[in-house]
Chain A
Amino acid sequence: DAMVIQNPRYQVTQFGKPVTLSCSQTLNHNVMYWYQQKSSQAPKLLFHYYDKDFNNEADTPDNFQSRRPNTSFCFLDIRSPGLGDAAMYLCATSGDGLREQFFGPGTRLTVL
Chain B
Amino acid sequence: QKEVEQNSGPLSVPEGAIASLNCTYSDRVSQSFFWYRQYSGKSPELIMSIYSNGDKEDGRFTAQLNKASQYVSLLIRDSQPSDSATYLCAAGKGSTLGRLYFGRGTQLTVWP
A-B contact count (CB 8 A): 60
Majority-rule SS of A interface residues: loop
When the two chains form their complex, are residues A98 and B103 in contact, meaning their CB atoms are under 8 A apart? no
Count, chain A residues at interface, CB 8 A = 24
When the two chains form their complex, are residues B99 and A104 in contact, meaning their CB atoms are under 8 A apart? no
Q: Which residue of A lies closest to B94 (CB)?
A: A97
Residues in chain B near residue A55, CB distance under 8 A = 97
User: Any chain A CB within 8 A of the CB of B102?
Assistant: yes
User: Contact residue range for chain B?
Assistant: 20 to 34
User: Any chain A CB within 8 A of the CB of B57?
Assistant: no
Residues in chain B near residue A105, CB distance under 8 A = 42-43
Residues in chain B near residue A40, CB distance under 8 A = 104-105
User: Any chain B CB within 8 A of the CB of A76?
Assistant: no
User: Any chain B CB within 8 A of the CB of A73?
Assistant: no
A19-35 CB contacts (< 8 Å) to partner B:
33
When the two chains form their complex, are residues B44 and A90 in contact, meaning their CB atoms are under 8 A apart? yes
Q: Which residue of A lies closest to B30 (CB)?
A: A98
A50–B93 Cα gap in the complex (Å)? 15
Central interface residue in B4, B43, B100, B103, by most chain A CB within 10 Å: B43
User: Any chain A CB within 8 A of the CB of B69?
Assistant: no
Distance in Å: Cβ of B84 to nearest Cβ of chain A:
15
Interface residues of B (CB under 8 A from A): 4, 31-32, 34, 36, 41-46, 49, 88, 90, 92-100, 102-105
> A98-B31, A103-B44, A105-B43 known; 15 other A-B pairs, CB under 8 Å?
A33-B99, A40-B104, A42-B4, A42-B103, A45-B99, A55-B97, A90-B43, A90-B44, A98-B92, A99-B92, A100-B49, A103-B43, A104-B43, A105-B42, A106-B43
Which 9 residue pairs are nearest across A and B when measured between Cβ atoms? A97-B98, A96-B96, A42-B102, A103-B43, A98-B92, A106-B43, A98-B32, A42-B104, A98-B98
